[in-house]
Amino acid sequence: MRNVLLATLLSLSLPVAANPLPNPIEGKITKGWFTNDAMGCMLLQECTEDVKRVRNTDQVQEIFPNQNFDVVREEFNSISESFDKLGINVYIASPKYFPVGHRGVYHTVSNNFYLNEAYVSRPHVFMAVVRHEGWHAAQDCMAGTLDNSLLAIIYPEDKVPEMWQSMAERTYFQNPAAIPWEKEAFWAGHTADLTADALKVCASDTPMWEHYTPTPLTKKWLIKNNFIK
């Protein structure tokens, strides 16, 4: 099924060769920092050092005191309000937990997402990554429920502007199966309130597919799994 993806995580990343450092946590991380192994330890919440949960813009401002996050305050706090209703937590974590080039990751099992501290100190970049990873949470919701590890695209693929389709194709050329979901997330990441609006629907009593017309294959999936009667 082209528009439903079984996944444990999707991340906004730039493909750069990594050079892992020696293993710092015996028994938890076997391949060192800056690896998928380290990221997995963080996602499973077995590694919590230098991983800070943020609930609002004021807490982000405390982490980056030399920046002014007022410019994204309204949008981020709106997204955070939806996250609170959905039980999704947002963390800013040390870059050591991410493969080199990864800016953020949404974990479809725990429904939490993590931002790489090295990339999100500037407000507009912070907001872009929050929107991107938050869109994956909305895609999770579109697949029926946050209580599974499936993602469904929300819009027909041809609705995504060409520039974001091209960017996703260039970034994920080594993982083409992820492109339908990622090009949507690239678009959302650079469009004010697209993610905030989708998450408001996800957190409401209205199912996503009653607000966003599902694609034919998503509708077939929802009917098959008794989300649509």
- Tens of pLDDT, residue by residue over 141-195, are 999 999 988 999 999 989 999 999 999 999 999 889 999 999 999 999 999 999 9
β-pairing verdict for 90-93 and 113-116: parallel
Cα three-residue angle 36-139-100, rounded to 5 degrees: 20
**Measured in whole angstroms, how far is the alpha carbon of residue 60 from the centre of its chain?**
17
CA distances from 169 to 57, 69, 159 (A): 32, 31, 16
Per-residue confidence (pLDDT) for residue 12, from 0 to 100: 41
Per-residue confidence (pLDDT) for residue 29, from 0 to 100: 83
Q: What residue ranges of the chain have pLDDT lower than 70?
A: 1-27
pTM of this structure: 0.89
- Secondary structure letter of residue 20 according to DSSP: P
β-pairing verdict for 102-107 and 51-53: unpaired
Q: Are 90 and 126 in contact (CB under 8 A)?
A: no
3-state DSSP percent of the chain in helix, strand and coil, to 5: 45, 10, 40
Q: Among 179, 185, 103, 171, which Cα is nearest to 138's? A: 185
Q: Where are the alpha helices (DSSP H) in the chain?
A: 36-43, 57-63, 73-86, 123-142, 162-171, 179-189, 194-202, 208-211, 216-224
Q: For tokens 């800013």, what's the residue?
A: 92
